């Protein structure tokens, strides 16, 4: 890998150790490989994400500024108007929207943890089939979440954010049970 990148082995080794510490790669007898979440691990992580997204929404409703309102509305518009079929691009727009809320919450530790969770979940949730029905529901949930944040309604923002991620969790559960022998 170092040869392919044109660098010495030390920075590659250090980067791989850091990725291993973050749970993104694992060391096997053949070297490092990407660590994939098992379905139960992904669901457990979504439960944690639900709570933290709720907290981020609550804090965002308290701390939103005029500048961050504009940025949040821009991200919502980009996500809401995306009509393409590229699941990765849709996932990135969704991540950008949710990250914006965490940025507005203005808590660096919360942002850091949510970023880590988002990276770990990206592979598990990007491969999900998102039905047109769920896409519409999700868009409505995002709009309601933004309205609650803009209104400064902390409790409602938290509730909507938690329920939104919980629905993603339910969709993941259904797909796991539909396409595998795993029952959760």
Is 22 in the same domain as 82?
no
Same domain flag for 49 and 120: yes
What is the number of domains present in the chain?
2
- 3-state per-residue secondary structure call for the chain: CHHHHCCCHHHHHHHHHHHHHCCCEEEECCEEEECCCCHHHHHHHHHHHHHHHHHHHHHHHHHCCHHHHHHHHHHHHHHHHCCCCCHHHHHHHHHHHHHHHHHHHCCHHHHHHHHHHHHHHHHHHHCCCCCHHHHHHHHHHHHHHHHHHHCCCHHHHHHHHHHHHHHHHHHHHHHHHHHCCCCC
Expressed as residue numbers, the domain containing 16 is: 2-34
Residue 93 in domain: yes
Q: Are residues 76 and 133 in the same domain?
A: yes
CATH number at residue 104: 1.20.120.530
Task: Answer yes or no: do 63 and 24 share one domain.
Answer: no
Same domain, 30 and 81: no
Say yes or no: 17 and 86 in one domain.
no
Distance of alpha carbon 51 from its chain centroid, rounded? 13
Q: Does residue 46 share a domain with residue 16? A: no
Q: What is the pLDDT of residue 127?
A: 59
pLDDT per residue of the chain (184 residues) written in tens, 0 to 9: 767 778 888 887 788 788 777 777 788 888 887 777 777 888 899 999 999 999 999 999 999 999 999 999 999 999 999 988 887 888 899 999 999 999 999 999 999 999 999 988 886 666 566 677 888 899 999 999 999 999 999 999 999 999 999 998 888 788 777 766 655 5
Q: Please give the pLDDT value at position 148.
A: 99
* Residue 181 pLDDT: 62
**Does residue 68 form part of some domain?**
yes
pLDDT score recorded for residue 180: 67
CB atoms under 10 Å from CB of 83, counted, come to 6
According to the model, what pLDDT value does residue 56 have? 99
Residues 82 and 157 in one domain: yes
Same domain, 43 and 130: yes
């Amino acid at each position: 890998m170092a040869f392919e990148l044109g660098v010495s082995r030390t920075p590659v080794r250090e980067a791989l150790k850091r990725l291993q510490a973050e749970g993104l790669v694992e060391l096997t007898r053949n070297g490092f490989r990407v660590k994939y979440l098992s379905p139960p691990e992904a669901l457990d992580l979504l439960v944690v994400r639900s709570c933290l997204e709720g907290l981020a929404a609550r804090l965002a409703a308290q701390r939103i500024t005029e500048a961050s309102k504009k940025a949040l509305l821009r991200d919502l518009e980009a996500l809401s108007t995306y009509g393409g079929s590229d699941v990765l691009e849709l996932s990135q727009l969704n991540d950008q929207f949710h990250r914006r809320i965490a940025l507005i919450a203005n808590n660096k530790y919360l942002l850091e943890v949510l970023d880590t969770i988002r990276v770990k979940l990206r592979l598990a949730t990007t491969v999900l089939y998102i039905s047109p029905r769920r896409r519409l529901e999700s868009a409505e949930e995002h709009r309601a979440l933004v309205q609650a944040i803009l209104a400064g309604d902390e409790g409602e923002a938290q509730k909507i954010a938690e329920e939104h991620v919980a629905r993603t969790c339910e969709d993941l559960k259904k797909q796991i049970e539909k396409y595998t022998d795993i029952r959760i």
